[in-house]
Structure 1
Amino acid sequence: MKYFLAALIALGLSVAAVPSQAADSRNVSVVNETGYAIKFLGFNSPDDGLDEWDNELDKVLQNQASTYVEFDDDDEGCVWNIRVDWQNYNEAVLWKNVNLCKFNVLRLRYDPGTKTTSFVAE
């Protein structure tokens, strides 16, 4: 029992010595509910304008599929613009000033008749 208690204390101390890596509050699961396959998914800060984008996708994101987007420590702020380009549709669509710190899941939606964007945050 004495050795078990010593081992348990040593384990507790070693775990406490490891810095915790909390998930970034902006990390988000994006669900494609646009009705189109997405070939480009980009995020940028409203301060960056609308010219600088990096594609967060490794492959086409099919309708009703999801992907997880992680932010780097050097990215700043909670509010981001989101741009998508569809695989077979020749127009970029924007969601502007989305506060990613307020939810974990973002369901992107698009009405092609009115060309309006919306999202549901969870």
Structure 2
Amino acid sequence: MKNVAAKALLVVSSLFLMHGAALAGQQDFTIVNKTGYALKHIYVSENNNNSWDEDILGRDVLENGEYFEVSFGKAEKVCKWDMKVVYDDGESAVWSGLNLCQISKLTLKWNKNTGVTSAQTE
């Protein structure tokens, strides 16, 4: 939570995205859930923070096929972030060192043969 407040991380769903590009942070990105399952929690924290910030979904669930817009404050300068997603059954996947200054979209997919969740970047 301290990073959220200190860094003014603004997270909003696409339905409530009210600011224009002039207020957008260079780290803004979209998460697309194509795992086949609902995601109950998504955490985004500065790289190597050693703890997770607040769940950015809040009380919402990101259903399969849905997307979620993540927005940072314009003043945010950090590019490297870690992300953790938690499925509704408690299973999770973690990515470290995502360069959000170069990523605009993360499409999450789950491979039933390997049991691995992957993230395709754009």
Question: Common fold, TM-score beyond 0.5?
Answer: yes
Cα displacement (A) at 1:115: 3.1
Structure 1 or 2, whichever has the larger Rg, is 1
Counterpart amino acid of residue 60 in structure 1:
V
Residue 95 of structure 2 aligns to a residue in which SS? strand
Residue 47 of structure 1 aligns to a residue in which SS? coil
Indicate the residue corresponding to 2:11 in structure 1.
none
Per chain length, whose mean CA-contact separation is higher, i.e. which structure has more relative contact order (CA < 8 Å, sep 6+)? 2
Counterparts of residues 70-81 of structure 1 (less than 5 Å):
70-73=71-74, 75-81=76-82
1:22 and 1:71 mapped to 2: Cα distance? 9
Counterparts of residues 11-90 of structure 1 (less than 5 Å):
21-49=22-50, 51-58=51-58, 59-73=60-74, 75-87=76-88, 89-90=89-90
With over 3 angstroms needed to count, the CA separation of the structure-2 counterparts of 1:55 and 1:93, relative to structure 1, is same
Larger helix share, 1 or 2: 1
Deviations 1:51-103 (A, max 9, x none): 2221111411001100100123565411111111111x222211121111112
1:112 and 1:97 mapped to 2: Cα distance? 25
In the alignment, structure 2 segments of 5+ residues that lack a partner are: 1-20
1:117 and 1:75 mapped to 2: Cα distance? 28
Instruction: Give % identity.
Output: 28
In the alignment, structure 1 segments of 5+ residues that lack a partner are: 1-19
TM-score with structure 1 setting the length: 0.71
8 Å CA contact 2:85–2:92 kept in 1: the answer is yes
TM-score with structure 2 setting the length: 0.71
Counterpart amino acid of residue 35 in structure 1:
G
* Number of equivalences: 101
2:113 and 2:83 mapped to 1: Cα distance? 20
Tell me, yes or no, if structure 1 residue 97 matches structure 2 residue 67: no
